[in-house]
Amino acid sequence: MMVSPNSSKWDLGRLFRTLAFFRTIPFLGSFDTISIPGPQKQPEKTAKRTKGTVLVVGATGGVGKRVVKLLQQRGYDVRSLVRDLDKTRPILGPDVQLIDGDITIPQTLTPPVTNDLKAVICCIGSRVQPQEGDTPQREKYYQGIKFYLPEVIDTPEMVEYIGVKNLVTAVTTAATEKTLCDFTQPTREMQANWGALDDVVMGGVSESNLRLVNGTAFFSGNVSTANSGGFASVRSRNFAPPFNLADYTGIDLRIKGDGNRYKFFIRTDPKWDGIGYSYSFDTAYNIPFTVRIPFSEFVPVFRAKTVPNAPPLDPSQIYSFQIMLSKFEYDGQLNPNFKPGIFQLQIESIKAYGGKKLPQFIQVSSAAVTRPGRPGNNPQDQIPIVKLNDQLGGILTWKLRGENAIRASGLPYTIIRPCALTEEPGGKALFFDQGDNITGKVSREDIAQLCIAALESPTAMNRTFEVKETEYFGPNNWENLFTQLKPDN
Ligand SMILES: NC(=O)c1ccc[n+]([C@@H]2O[C@H](COP(=O)([O-])OP(=O)(O)OC[C@H]3O[C@@H](n4cnc5c(N)ncnc54)[C@H](OP(=O)(O)O)[C@@H]3O)[C@@H](O)[C@H]2O)c1
| Residue 268, domain member (yes or no) | yes
pLDDT above 70: residue 30 = no
Q: 163: pLDDT confidence band, cut at 50, 70 and 90? A: very high
Summarize pLDDT for 209-243 with one digit per residue, the tens: 999 999 999 999 999 999 888 999 999 999 999 99
My answer on whether omega of the bond before 294 falls inside 30° of 0, hence cis, is no
Q: Give the Cβ contact number of residue 431 at 10 Å.
A: 17
59-71 burial, b at 16+ Cβ within 10 Å, e below that, comes to bbbbbbbbbbbbb
Atom 19 of ligand 1: nearest residue by CA position: 61
Output the CA–CA distances (angstroms, integers) from residue 434 to 9, 15, 445, 450, 475, in the order listed. Answer: 80, 71, 21, 16, 21
| Residue 17, domain member (yes or no) | no
CA angle 419, 423, 428 (to 5 degrees): 65
pLDDT-wise least confident of 131-145, 227-241, 284-298, 407-421 = 131-145
Report, as an integer, the average pLDDT of 154-172: 96
Closest ligand 1 atom number to CA of residue 418: 6
Summarize pLDDT for 324-360 with one digit per residue, the tens: 999 999 999 999 999 999 999 999 999 999 999 999 9
- H or E segment at 344? strand 341-353
190 and 72 share one domain: no
Residue 69: strand, helix, or coil? helix
Ligand 1 centroid, distance to 57 Cα (angstroms): 9
123 and 105 share one domain: yes
272 and 401 share one domain: no
183-200 burial, b at 16+ Cβ within 10 Å, e below that, comes to beebeeebeebbbbbbbb
Write down the pLDDT at residue 272: 81
Report, as an integer, the average pLDDT of 200-209: 87
pTM above 0.85, yes or no: no
327 and 371 share one domain: no
Q: Distance (Å, rounded) from C-alpha 4 to C-alpha 376?
A: 94
Q: Distance (Å, rounded) from C-alpha 318 to C-alpha 242?
A: 5
| Residue 26, domain member (yes or no) | no
Q: Distance (Å, rounded) from C-alpha 273 to C-alpha 22?
A: 11
Ligand 1 cavity residues, CB under 6 Å: 57-64, 81, 83-84, 102-104, 123-125, 127, 143, 154, 159, 163, 364, 366, 418, 420-421, 444
| Residue 4, domain member (yes or no) | no
Ligand 1 centroid, distance to 59 Cα (angstroms): 9
pLDDT above 70: residue 39 = no
Closest ligand 1 atom number to CA of residue 163: 31
Ligand 1 centroid, distance to 188 Cα (angstroms): 41
Closest ligand 1 atom number to CA of residue 63: 16
224 and 369 share one domain: no
262 and 376 share one domain: no
| Residue 425, domain member (yes or no) | yes
Q: State the CATH number of the domain containing residue 92.
A: 3.40.50.720
| Residue 308, domain member (yes or no) | yes
Ligand 1 centroid, distance to 297 Cα (angstroms): 47
190 and 120 share one domain: no
Domain finish residue from 328, 353, 378:
353
Atom 39 of ligand 1: nearest residue by CA position: 60
Q: State the CATH number of the domain containing residue 223.
A: 2.60.120.430
377 and 287 share one domain: no
pLDDT above 70: residue 34 = no
Domain finish residue from 353, 385, 420:
353
| Residue 363, domain member (yes or no) | yes
340 and 210 share one domain: yes
187 and 167 share one domain: no
Contact 368, 258 (CB under 8 A): no
Ligand 1 centroid, distance to 127 Cα (angstroms): 6
Domain finish residue from 308, 333, 353:
353
Atom 48 of ligand 1: nearest residue by CA position: 421
Summarize pLDDT for 48-103 with one digit per residue, the tens: 668 999 999 999 999 999 999 999 999 999 999 999 999 999 999 999 999 999 99
Closest ligand 1 atom number to CA of residue 420: 3
Ligand 1 centroid, distance to 159 Cα (angstroms): 9
Ligand 1 centroid, distance to 122 Cα (angstroms): 9
- Residue 8, CA atoms < 13 Å, CB-side half-sphere: 17
448 and 425 share one domain: yes
Q: Distance (Å, rounded) from C-alpha 137 to C-alpha 148?
A: 17
Closest ligand 1 atom number to CA of residue 83: 40
C-alpha R_g of the chain = 29
pLDDT above 50: residue 43 = no
The dihedral sign for the CA sequence 241, 175, 114, 109: positive
Write down the pLDDT at residue 162: 97
| CA-based end-to-end distance of the chain | 82
Domain limits at 457?
A: 53-177+358-483
226 and 309 share one domain: yes
Q: How many domains does the chain divide into?
A: 2
Contact 413, 360 (CB under 8 A): yes
Closest ligand 1 atom number to CA of residue 62: 16
Summarize pLDDT for 466-480 with one digit per residue, the tens: 999 999 998 999 999
| Residue 232, domain member (yes or no) | yes
Ligand 1 centroid, distance to 488 Cα (angstroms): 25
